[in-house]
Amino acid sequence: MTSTPADPTGGPKPAPEVRLATLDDAPSMLRVLEAAFDPWPSFEVGVGGLDHLRWKMTMPGQPAAHTVGLVNGEIAAVSLRWVSRMRLGDEELIQDSSVDHAVHPDFQGRGLGGAIARFAHAKAEAYSDVSLGTGSSDDRIPSIFDSFDPSRVTHVLPVRSRAFGVRAFIGSHRRGGGLPGLARNVARALQQQVSTAGQRGEPSGVRIEELTAFDERVDPLWRAFGSRFEFTVERDVDYLNWRYCDPRGGTAVVLAAFEGDQMVAFTVFKAAGDWSNVLDFAVLPDHPRAAALTRELLDAGCRRMEEAGARGARLALGMRHPAGRVVEAAGFLPAGSSIEFSSGPQRRGSRAPLLDRLYAGEARSNLLLGDADIF
């Protein structure tokens, strides 16, 4: 049975207490999240909710960021934060966003949501520079946080899909774009088969390994790939292992390509119902066969997902992402939908040189599905 904070009868309702959360609070926080969201988390992770919550609360390098609201000393509201390092040009920034904001149903309508939002935002202004997130399906949540960060820019990531089989191809592309969209993608698929017919059989000279953990060999690869972008989440060993190799965050398939001992590319796939998502990838940009490497890794990941029973894979890239043509050559065609990230204004009083380009939507961004907590 789920217990809820005691509600006094008669007399004025006590003002809520708001404070930073600790790992010891996790069991009580989970009760609020499960009561408010039903289910929480909203996707299959393969572990219990408490393990997943503790994973989310221990992001590498994360400052004290999570917030709880208490009524009569018991937790009735929760705000979880997603904090990571980002690069904007040559400057390193800290991004922060609210990813799970919940008030127990028995205590809604008392201003608890706004109270923990104000507290959490005040803390965030002390340690973060920008916010980055995918919004919420609950209209009340964006209205709270937009009052703190009213100036925001939207980053649209068109979704591309690669279906495994004719029926999945017809169903997914007709659903996304109707008959005209299906016809366009049939033409694209046929054109790709012709243009790549003589390429896919070429040996790449690399070996592809499935990883259980990243090591320091990913660092030079990421520095080279990440330097191509003006706005991107930093991906070091600790972050990548926390995000993709900790089973408490959900089971992912991590593939890496090596030449000798050098990692030259990696990609991350994750099951999502009867489909799968490409959460992340990077390739050594000056490699003479960078495009072929990307296709080969995506092909290998798709085979793994198809063997596991998925009907296809989805991938989302910004419209200016340099890998757009490469992923289309790998069979990922426009799906007729998109994912939206939004980033908020600078905090801590600093002004990054490229911030105006970011707000104008002109900065070259490397935002992928793995940069959000919902995939």
SS (H, E, C) 297-347: HHHHHHHHHHHCCCCEEEEECCCCCCCHHHHHHCCCEEEEEEEEEEECCCC
Asked if residue 193 and residue 108 are part of one domain, the reply reads no
Asked if residue 160 and residue 120 are part of one domain, the reply reads no
Asked if residue 334 and residue 259 are part of one domain, the reply reads yes
Average pLDDT, the chain: 83
366 part of a folded domain: yes
Residue 29 φ/ψ region, left for φ over 0, alpha for ψ in the -120 to 50 degree band, beta for the rest: alpha
Q: Which of 150, 183, 205 is the last residue of a domain?
A: 150
By three-state DSSP, how is residue 120 classified?
helix
6 part of a folded domain: no
Answer whether residue 351 shows pLDDT above 80: no
**98 pairs with which residues across the strands?**
81
Q: Which of 90, 124, 150 is the last residue of a domain?
A: 150
Distance CA 303, CA 309 (A): 10
Domain count within the chain: 2
Asked if residue 317 and residue 259 are part of one domain, the reply reads yes
Q: Which two tokens stand for residue 12?
A: 């004025």
Residue 45's CB is within 10 A of a number of other CB atoms, namely 16
Q: What is the CATH number of the domain that holds 68?
A: 3.40.630.30
Length of the chain: 375
Distance CA 124, CA 132 (A): 12
Asked if residue 121 and residue 183 are part of one domain, the reply reads no
pLDDT in tens, 12-23: 566 789 999 999
Distance CA 243, CA 252 (A): 9
* Bigger pLDDT: 328 vs 136: 328
Domain coverage including residue 50: 17-150
101 part of a folded domain: yes
- Residues 145-163: what's their mean pLDDT? 76
- Residues 300-326: what's their mean pLDDT? 92
Asked whether the beta carbons of 157 and 323 are under 8 A apart, the reply is no
Distance CA 346, CA 323 (A): 28
How many H helices and E strands in the chain?
10, 14
Answer whether residue 50 shows pLDDT above 60: yes
Strands 207-211 and 67-71: unpaired
Residue 228's CB is within 10 A of a number of other CB atoms, namely 14
Asked if residue 270 and residue 256 are part of one domain, the reply reads yes
* Bigger pLDDT: 175 vs 80: 80
- Residues 112-122: what's their mean pLDDT? 90
- State residue 167's pLDDT score: 62
Report the range out of 24-28, 97-101, 315-319 with the highest average pLDDT: 24-28
Asked if residue 207 and residue 126 are part of one domain, the reply reads no
- State residue 205's pLDDT score: 75
Asked if residue 82 and residue 208 are part of one domain, the reply reads no
Q: Which of 98, 119, 150 is the last residue of a domain?
A: 150
Please, what is the end-to-end C-alpha distance for the chain in angstroms?
29
Answer whether residue 215 shows pLDDT above 70: yes
Asked if residue 165 and residue 126 are part of one domain, the reply reads no
Distance CA 143, CA 291 (A): 42
Continuous segment of H or E residues that includes residue 243 = helix 237-244
1 part of a folded domain: no
Asked whether the beta carbons of 88 and 352 are under 8 A apart, the reply is yes
